[in-house]
Amino acid sequence: MAAVDLNAESLGVPRKQLMESSGNAVARACRDLADPGSTVAIVAGRGNNGGDALVTARFLKAYDVTVHLLGRPETISTDIARENWDALVAAEADVRTVTDSADLDLGDPDVVIDAMLGTGVTGALREPEATAARAINDTDATVLAVDVPSGVDADTGEAEGVSVAADHVVTFHDDKPGLDALDCEVTVADIGIPDAAELFTGPGDLIALGRDSQSHKGDHGDVLVVGGGPYTGAPALAAQAALRAGADLARVAAPEHVAREIQGYSENLIVSGFSGAHLTPDHVPDLLELAADRDVVVFGPGLGDADATLDAVGSFLADFDGTAVVDADALQVVPEVDTDATLICTPHQGELQKMGGETANDWDARCELVRDFAGELGHVLLVKGAYDIVSDGDDVRVNRTGNPGMTVGGTGDVLAGVTGALACVLPPLDAAAVGAYVNGRAGDVAVEEFGGGLVATDVLNRVPAGLEVDE
């Protein structure tokens, strides 16, 4: 939800507007439950759940409303909730602050609006929320819960400790799986979040990457790039991109002439060479061993399409059961191989057709085609284009970052490396969607500086900029 809210904000629908819609939806439900003139006790927490009900109070003019804030106003945890509190105080509304649960006196209201906690709950209710929940449950009032009955986990419907027994719940934007198990009426209120906030990648998708400061080496992934042959630069770009996107370690396995060259110009990479001019099946056992201890393998950059190489790709994938990003010439093998591996395939539209997929000019039509083909393949597809289409056969995400300057050679290798690093810390679909978003954003920063003259290393070096969340 936090990711969707931030994406909505980036589309021009700020959170305060969402809170106004949420509060209004709760007021509408309250008007359906009780006649004008009824007494309404709003019990508000210090987060946005409480904030929603501080808005509701403004939409219940025909009612006798009392707001009980659990905690001092200074402890309200978000600016938009605090602003709504200040607006009530400025309007001389009947608001009270409860710092000790013994002070909570709800009176004998017709309706209680439970806005203590919503999706932000962690663990069993602490004080004063726990006592307040019992006080709410002890009234004869009709209890209307905001988003989730306080104390209940929205995903499971379980409560670790005491929770509010609601008669009605107004939940926002989409149903919460845990609510169906509850014995109460649930209304799902549309609060004006555009579908685009979930379909298109945006800054909200980076929240999942939150870096904890205690992180240490190895937490953020160990990526192996298997590539090189007719092309030298591709595996080095992919491996460096993995480091730029947060992997702690990036290794390259390449034919020895390529390995020597890469080791020469990039001391950041751990490079191992295998015999011969390109990948062949007899290299596969060693590669499987090397891959077994990595988090993610990026397979394909610069491998070329010699028959023996494609045979090697097939036999590697057939025996590999980890997670791999597959790119470039290796892609054409994927539809023919039966594998237990989790694959993220990153074709451009020409490579997609070579794999047996279909494309279309209209991006909306492409969503359908990519989703169906991903379902057929049983792997995640990231199909590059002006709009990158990402799907795992069920969900579809669309990425709109990037620019025509990025058709220059090598940006696909950078994308494969970025996606590989993210696949160490995110589920495959998210890794592909965020990979496309970050790579495109890096390209948008690069084109600002280099115009149409941008080259892949410009994108590579701006991947960290692509990862920044400027909230």
Ligand X SMILES: NC(=O)C1=CN([C@@H]2O[C@H](COP(=O)(O)OP(=O)(O)OC[C@H]3O[C@@H](n4cnc5c(N)ncnc54)[C@H](O)[C@@H]3O)[C@@H](O)[C@H]2O)[C@H](O)CC1
What residues are designated binding site for K(+)? Answer: 49, 114, 150
Rounded to the nearest whole angstrom, what is the least distance from the CB of residue 36 to ligand X in the complex?
25
Rounded to the nearest whole angstrom, what is the least distance from the CB of residue 53 to ligand X in the complex?
8
Query: Strands of 185-189's sheet, edge to edge?
Result: 95-98, 64-70, 39-44, 111-115, 142-146, 168-172, 185-189
Binding of residue 22 to ligand X (CB under 6 A): yes
Residues belonging to the binding site are: 48-52, 114, 118-124, 147, 150, 234, 302, 348, 412-413
List the x/- string, 167-196, binding to ligand X by CB under 6 A.
-----xx-------------------x---
Binding of residue 145 to K ion (CB under 5 A): yes
Residues belonging to the binding site for AMP are: 412
Question: Which span sits near K ion by CB under 5 A: 113-121, 129-137, 174-182, 387-395?
Answer: 113-121
Q: Determine which residue in the list 119, 139, 272, 349 makes contact with ligand X, applying CB under 6 A.
A: 119
Binding of residue 163 to K ion (CB under 5 A): no
Rounded to the nearest whole angstrom, what is the least distance from the CB of residue 82 to K ion in the complex?
18
Half-sphere exposure of 109 (CA within 13 A, CB side): 27
Which of ligand X, K ion, none does residue 145 bind (CB under 5 to 8 Å by kind)? Answer: K ion
Rounded to the nearest whole angstrom, what is the least distance from the CB of residue 146 to K ion in the complex?
4
Rounded to the nearest whole angstrom, what is the least distance from the CB of residue 115 to K ion in the complex?
5
Which of ligand X, K ion, none does residue 298 bind (CB under 5 to 8 Å by kind)? Answer: none
Residue pair 151/117 in contact (Cβ under 8 Å)? The answer is: yes
Question: Which span sits near ligand X by CB under 6 A: 58-66, 115-123, 230-238, 422-430?
Answer: 115-123
Query: Is the Cβ of residue 152 or residue 341 nearer to K ion in the bound state?
Result: 152
Question: Which span sits near ligand X by CB under 6 A: 143-151, 202-210, 223-231, 446-454?
Answer: 143-151
Residues belonging to the binding site for (6S)-NADPHX are: 48-52, 118-124, 147, 234, 302, 348, 413
Scanning residues 52 to 71, which ones bind ligand X (CB under 6 A)?
Answer: 52
| Widest distance between CA atoms in the chain | 86
Scanning residues 404 to 443, which ones bind ligand X (CB under 6 A)?
Answer: none
Query: Is the Cβ of residue 85 or residue 316 nearer to ligand X in the bound state?
Result: 85
Query: Is the Cβ of residue 113 or residue 269 nearer to K ion in the bound state?
Result: 113
SS3 labels along the chain: CHHHHHHHHHCCCCHHHHHHHHHHHHHHHHHHHCCCCCEEEEEECCCHHHHHHHHHHHHCCCCEEEEEEECCHHHCCCHHHHHHHHHHHHCCCCEEEECCHHHCCCCCCCEEEEECCCCCCCCCCCCCHHHHHHHHHHCCCEEEEECCCCCECCCCCCECCCCCCCCEEEEECCCCHHHCCCCCEEEEECCCCCCHHHHECCHHHHHHHCCCCCCCCCCCCEEEEECCCCCCHHHHHHHHHHHHCCCCEEEEEEEHHHHHHHHHHCCCCEEEEECCCCCCHHHHHHHHHHHHCCCEEEECCCCCCCHHHHHHHHHHHHHCCCEEEECHHHHHHHHHCCCCCEEEECCEHHHHHHCCCCCCCCHHHHHHHHHHHHHHHCCEEEEECCCEEEECCCCEEEECCCCHHHHCCCHHHHHHHHHHHHCCCCCHHHHHHHHHHHHHHHHHHHHHHHHHHCCHHHHHHCHHHHCCCCC
Which of K ion, ligand X, none does residue 430 bind (CB under 5 to 8 Å by kind)? Answer: none
List the x/- string, 73-92, binding to ligand X by CB under 6 A.
----xx--------------
Which of ligand X, K ion, none does residue 122 bind (CB under 5 to 8 Å by kind)? Answer: ligand X
Residue pair 70/44 in contact (Cβ under 8 Å)? The answer is: yes
Residue pair 294/263 in contact (Cβ under 8 Å)? The answer is: no
Residue pair 296/223 in contact (Cβ under 8 Å)? The answer is: yes
Query: Which amino acid, 416?
Result: A
Q: Determine which residue in the list 3, 5, 113, 237 makes contact with ligand X, applying CB under 6 A.
A: 5
- Count residues binding ligand X (CB under 6 A): 33
List the x/- string, 400-439, binding to K ion by CB under 5 A.
----------------------------------------
Question: Which span sits near ligand X by CB under 6 A: 98-106, 112-120, 226-234, 351-359?
Answer: 112-120
Which of ligand X, K ion, none does residue 150 bind (CB under 5 to 8 Å by kind)? Answer: K ion
Query: Is the Cβ of residue 47 or residue 385 nearer to ligand X in the bound state?
Result: 47
Q: Distance (Å, rounded) from C-alpha 86 to C-alpha 309?
A: 68
Which of K ion, ligand X, none does residue 365 bind (CB under 5 to 8 Å by kind)? Answer: none
Q: Determine which residue in the list 38, 40, 45, 164 makes contact with ligand X, applying CB under 6 A.
A: 45
Per CB under 5 A, residues contacting K ion are 114, 118, 145-146, 150
Per CB under 6 A, residues contacting ligand X are 1, 4-5, 18-19, 22, 45-52, 77-78, 117-126, 129, 146-148, 172-173, 193
